[in-house]
Amino acid sequence: MSGSVGNGEFGFQIAPMLDILFVLLLFFMVSAGAQKHETALTSQLPGPAQPGPLVPAAIVIDGDGQVSVNTVPTDGPTDRNLPETIARLKGIVQDNSMRPIVVTPSRTTKHSRVMDVLNACAGAGVKNLAFGSPAD
**pLDDT tens-digit map of 10-43:** 777 888 889 999 999 998 888 877 766 666 666 6
> Is 94 domain-assigned?
yes
- Residue 100 sits at the vertex; the CA angle it makes with 97 and 102, to the nearest 5 degrees, is 140
> Is 87 domain-assigned?
yes
The number of distinct structural domains making up the chain is: 1
> Is 41 domain-assigned?
no
Domain hosting 105: range is 57-131
**pLDDT tens-digit map of 55-101:** 888 999 998 999 999 989 998 888 888 999 999 999 988 888 888 99
CATH number where 64 lies: 3.30.420.270
> Is 34 domain-assigned?
no
